[in-house]
A and B are shown apart, each in its own frame.
Chain A
Amino acid sequence: MRASFVFSEVITGLRRNITMTIAMILTTAISLGLLGGGLLIVRMIDKMQLIYSDKVQVMVSLTDDISANDKSCSSSICANLQRELQGSSNVETVTFQNRDQSFQRFQQLFQAEPELLRLTRPESLPATLQIKLTDPSRADVLVKAFAGKPGVKTVDDQGVFLQRFFGILDSIRYAVFVVALIQAAAAVLLISNTIQVSAFTRRVEVGIMRLVGATRWYTQLPFLIEAVVAGIIGSVLGIIGLAVLKEFFLDAALSGPIASGVLPRLDLLDVVAISPILVGVSAVISAITGYVTLRLYVRL
């Protein structure tokens, strides 16, 4: 089989149905853009887990009285608490953070929110004991043991908060995947339809080819490649769209949390990393769609 023959047939086919081809490419692009968005959220969650896993996992806030007067955990209540925590089986490290340090940390976290900084005074923040656990999943035992002890205002398992936060991200990801799936269904139908139209407009030629003894592969391969080429172009557009969105929209919208280290920064490299998946998925799906369409709906 001649590559030049197949190639020229593919070009002719794509140009002949130019409007359908464009619709097919755009739908594929949007579908894959959404899929890519979902994958980027997954990567973001991974990065966040990495960031947060070596940070504080349980935070014991101390009462106002200690927070106001004890700058170095030298009072007997605070020192006792610290010793007791240190002695617990699941605890790796315990660090004391006094009110001023808490405030500094707060300023750093919310530097993008000057309003909030202006309204918050150091007195509204407690001194804390920051605890790192050997096994974060058993944090609840520690929370129960230390809640209500003298000098303790609250005990927070940040894992719970993080889980809730990851839960929100997970739902966003699922929503994106569902929309991507619906869009993918539209793309698949469009690919199938385009191939059928394409085959119909060329039925006379293909009939003649079959008559002189061309095999099914010979006559159908161009249609199949047409679908795959459109699919790949669509996925590339989708990737470009993602990169543009990230560069000019997402980075600006999330600049605050990213700068303060709450959210990890997504790099163009992340987009690059998921692009082979997108191109591959697109090529495989359009090839399968094309093949099934040719088998079931095109009698040539």
Chain B
Amino acid sequence: MIRLEHVTKVYKTSTRPALDNVSVEMGKGEFVFLIGPSGSGKSTFLRLLLREEVPSKGRVYVSNFDVAKMARRRVPRLRQSIGCVFQDFRLLPTKTVAENVAFALEVIGKPRHTIQKVVPEVLQLVGLDGKADRMPTELSGGEQQRVAIARAFVNRPLVLIADEPTGNLDPDTSQDIMLLLERINRTGTTVLMATHDHSIVDSMRRRVVELDHGKVIRDDARGVYGVGR
């Protein structure tokens, strides 16, 4: 589902590569934690998958997309098949909860009656039924992240990328969010989550890919955060 082959990314402003000859593969339906200290290359890894960056060397595949090589006009198609969740939620502040979720469908031209049917379903899935007409600012952090997850998942993407989704949340709320991501993973969606949160990684016991200085230094099938330190 996700495959990086000998990927190196050097930013113009830096001499040290952000990613250094990284090769890794993630299969359909996997749940993978991407861990490592700040500056280890996690964000670059995710940005390459979304084609927010192109690799200096190597190839990147997501589903059937040859991400590094594809034409720019096809990038929207790639992004429509990837759901994204961020630490800072990234909701449209001028739109209601339902409109935020509906937006991901409008963008890809789904007809109105489909949107009207699907949005309440997915809001119920993330536990936000009854809050459809609230504005994002009226919600708690955990609820906002649920909206973001609902938006990321409403297209039934093949891959869900989460960049520190619990970074701004308290432990209990984080746990709820993780349960939600697990549920989504069980529907067959590949989930790739970059995180610093030890307790979450340790309690989930999923595959762990650890980056340090742009290199993959560990890839455990059922890993914990702190092994080898």
A residues apposed to B, CB below 8 Å: 1-2, 5, 12, 204-205, 207-216, 218
Contacts and interface: CB of A to CB of B under 8 A. Distances in A.
B151 A212 contact: yes
If over half of A's interface residues share one DSSP class (helix, strand or loop), that class is named, otherwise mixed; here it is helix
Contact of B79 (A1, A204, A213): A213
Contacts of A210: 76, 79
A205 B107 CA distance: 13
B80 A213 contact: yes
Interface residues of B, number: 20
A211 B84 contact: yes
A40 to B, nearest CB: 45
Nearest to B152: A212
Contact of A211 (B73, B79, B94): B79
A216 B108 CA distance: 12
Nearest to B84: A211
If over half of B's interface residues share one DSSP class (helix, strand or loop), that class is named, otherwise mixed; here it is helix
B142 to A, nearest CB: 20
Nearest to A1: B109
Contacts of B109: 1
A12 B106 CA distance: 19
B92 A213 contact: no
Contact of A208 (B50, B78, B90): B90
18 contacts: A1-B109, A5-B106, A204-B90, A208-B90, A208-B91, A209-B107, A211-B79, A212-B79, A212-B80, A212-B107, A213-B76, A213-B77, A213-B80, A213-B104, A213-B108, A215-B107, A216-B73, A216-B76
Give me the 7 closest cross-chain CB pairs, A-B, nearest first: A213-B80, A213-B79, A212-B104, A214-B107, A215-B76, A213-B76, A208-B90
Contact of A212 (B73, B77, B94, B103): B103
A46 to B, nearest CB: 49
Contacts of B106: 2, 5
Contacts, number: 43
Given A211-B84, A212-B80, 18 more contacts: A205-B94, A208-B90, A209-B107, A210-B76, A211-B79, A212-B79, A212-B104, A212-B151, A213-B76, A213-B79, A213-B107, A213-B108, A215-B73, A215-B76, A215-B107, A216-B73, A216-B76, A218-B107
Interface string B7-20: 00000000000000
A190 B91 CA distance: 31
B111 to A, nearest CB: 11
Contact of B103 (A204, A209, A216): A209
A190 to B, nearest CB: 26
Interface in B47-104: 50, 73, 76-81, 84, 90-92, 94, 103-104
A204 B86 CA distance: 13
Nearest to B78: A213
Contacts of B78: 213
Contacts of A209: 103, 107
Contacts of A211: 50, 79, 84, 90
Nearest to B80: A213
B76 A214 contact: yes
A210 B109 CA distance: 14
